[in-house]
Amino acid sequence: MRFPYGLCDFNKIITKGYFYCDRTDRIAMLENTGDYLLLLRPRRFGKSLLLSMLENYYDIARKDRFQELFGHLLIGKTPTSSHNQYFILKWDFSCVDPSGSAADIKKAFYDHINARIDAFAIKYEEYLVYKINIDHNNAVSSINSLLSVTSKSGHFVYLLIDEYDNFANEVMMGVRREKKDIYEALVFGEGALKTLFKAVKSVTDGSGIDKSFITGVSPVVMSDITSGYNMAENIYLNPAFNDLCGFHEDEIRKALNAASAECGLKKKDAADALDLMRVYYDGYKFAQDAKESVYNPTLAIYFIKAFLRTCNYPRKMLDSNLAADDAKLRYIAQVPGGEQILLDLMKKDYSLIISDLSDRFGIEQMLTDKSKDFVFMTSFLYYFGVLTIDSETNAGKLILRVPNMVTKGLYVERIQQMLLPEPVDRDDGVLAAEQFYTKGDIKPLCEFVEQRFFKVFHNRDYRWANELTVKTAFLTLLYNDILYIMDSEKDAGRGYADLTMIIRPDMRRFKILDILIEFKYVSLKKAGLTGEKARELSTENLRAIPAMQAKMEEAKKQAEKYGNALEQRYDNLRLKRYAVVSLGFERLWWQEGTN
């Protein structure tokens, strides 16, 4: 078996026998949906491979290879009449350098488009009667020349644009005024990008471009160019295309079973790998009426390829290529109210509810704090894949949540840097966490939370303050997907454990512990104390507070109960149970339970 990690060339994937999840049956559905389509999906979600599949299907120059490429696929059994009937003009705006002045970016755009037109002229030379004139100072003129030539051939052009908003995503992550000015110079008025899309729109009336398919991440650019290309029909909320990019669980299961067989492993090993992948990579729904969630395809291929190569799990569950998504969370954390949203999303089954997704926000809203409301921030996180649609309320509102644990890991890392901006503090936290899961000594960890984290909560106006806040502090310190299957509120039989760290099956060779922690919270008001008085309490006096004693007993009983349930579920656990009770954001009392 061969898995095409980072490969988005449909021709190579098919002819070289790479793993491929067949989505060719959607071609007929796409044709029936419209001629000018826009699909938005998060980064690294298979958009480029989708465009490559369409390119190979419609390209007139590959007509003789139709059976080789598509004969064994779903569309090969009932192809549409338009297969191999188009000239393909393909632009990839991720190749356009977004740095420099507006004039520099305009030149980069024109250079890319002209280069693609030049390649077009060479590829289709035998079909073209006249020569295409390339104007290096004006790519719009080059496009008009191309269409004048192709119109004499009897065939139309299918325009494919990949990463149409790539440069805008680079700009929007900045806050400098000059970046905003550069962006506006490109998309407003007679800006190069708006002019380009106006030119494309003007030739979709039978003058040459018969179809277009555009991919991107967010609707920002399309919103800003408005009338420049207002005939693009978005399909990103259409449930029929929820899995156009992404893998189903059955497809993952078959791949893992095959990989396990090649490794000489048992079916249970494949099932265990699927359990791990489900927790970390599944959970994406892009339309509220979608029947099934999908796996992130890049992460799935990353995992299965490593599994096949080493007959073991990859060391890290998060592919470093997706780490750039942290920039989106950093952006939200800088927005007023953004920190609270990130903290809220660490709660068990916490979701954000909005009336509908916003699809009309532009760069002005991206770079102006006053216009960033709750709906904007939630929609932004949805488009960039760090929130996903869960369901709907009885009133028809959308419920969005964090899709999986690999995405939650991004939140954890961002919150840690948000609350502990000093690297030395984070390093000390790592050392305290290591002492805990290697030796079972929770004292350094609790003292770190008391002395470092609680100071942060004193100085910030968060609207919730309870054991969930304390649990978030511990989770940010303990999160480790190299050694553990991390979970918050793990189902432990008729209840949920607050925080569990179950050693990954492939990491049980190390001398580390399985961990379960139950958290409880006593407010200063209930204890009848001020913050200053609480800080002055001796350990004995802290433990003598009736409310603290009651919560400690409750936490210990739950730790015992949930720990027993976990030991029945998993084999050979080295489980340590702990109870932690917080007095406001001042003091912690901790105890280890029984093994």
Q: How far apart are CA 21 and CA 246, in angstroms?
A: 9
What pLDDT is recorded for position 367?
A: 61
- For residue range 575-585, what is the model confidence (pLDDT) as tens digits? 999 999 999 88
Mean pLDDT of 510-528: 94
Q: Is 187 helix (H, G, I), strand (E, B) or coil?
A: helix
Task: State mean pLDDT over 133-156.
Answer: 92
pLDDT for residue 465 = 57
Find the range with the poorest average confidence among 30-39, 134-143, 295-304, 483-492. 483-492
> What pLDDT, on the 0 to 100 scale, is given for residue 413?
86
Segment 162-171, tens digit of pLDDT:
998 887 677 6
Q: Sheet containing 352-354: give its strands across.
A: 352-354, 398-401, 388-392
pLDDT at position 412, please?
87
Beta-bridge mates of residue 295: 247
Q: Span 465-486, mean pLDDT?
A: 84
Pick from 51-60, 97-106, 151-160, 433-442: least confident: 97-106
Percent of the chain scored above 70 by pLDDT? 90
Closest to 105 in 3D by CA, of 96, 118, 93: 96
Rg of the chain, C-alpha, whole Å = 27
| 233-234 vs 36-40, strand pairing mode | parallel
- With a cut of 60, say whether residue 91 has pLDDT above it: yes
| More confident: 361 or 373 | 373
Give the side-chain half-sphere CA count within 13 A for 436.
Answer: 29
Report which DSSP code applies to 387. S
Model confidence at 175: pLDDT above 50: no
pLDDT of residue 490: 53
User: Which tens digits make up the pLDDT trace of 347-359?
Assistant: 766 788 999 888 7
The ranges assigned to domains in the chain are 10-241, 249-315, 436-595
Q: At residue 577, what are phi and psi to the nearest 5 degrees?
A: -105, 140
Residue 415 has pLDDT above 50, yes or no: yes
The dihedral over CA atoms of 269, 576, 430, 488, expressed in degrees to the nearest 10, equals: 70
- CATH architecture entry for 10-241: 3-Layer(aba) Sandwich (3.40)
369, pLDDT greater than 60: no
Give the strand order in the sheet containing 233-234: 87-92, 157-162, 209-216, 36-40, 233-234
Would you state the structure tokens that stand for residue 58, as one six-digit string? 């419609």
- What pLDDT score does 595 carry? 44
pLDDT at 574 exceeding the cut of 80:
yes
Mean pLDDT estimate for the chain:
87
Using an 8 Å Cβ cutoff, are 100 and 109 in contact? no
Do residues 233 and 34 touch, judged by C-beta distance below 8 A? yes
pLDDT, greater one: 5 or 175: 5
When pLDDT is averaged across residues 60-68 and rounded to a whole number, the result is: 97
Whole-structure pTM value: 0.89
Angle, helices 102-123/139-150, rounded to nearest 10 degrees = 20
Considering the chain, what percentage of its residues have pLDDT values greater than 90? 57
Q: Count of CB atoms within 10 A of residue 15's CB?
A: 12
Element (H, E) at 409: helix 405-419
pLDDT, greater one: 442 or 223: 442
Mean pLDDT of 271-286: 93
In tens, the pLDDT along 257-270 reads 999 999 999 989 99
How does pLDDT run across 459-470, given as a tens digit for each residue? Answer: 665 555 566 778
Tokens matching residue 4: 């095409």
Mean pLDDT, residues 181-201 taken together? 78
Q: What is the 3-state secondary structure (H, E, C) of 267-321?
A: HHHHHHHHHHHHHHHCCECCCCCCCCCEECHHHHHHHHHHHHHHCCCCCCCCCHH
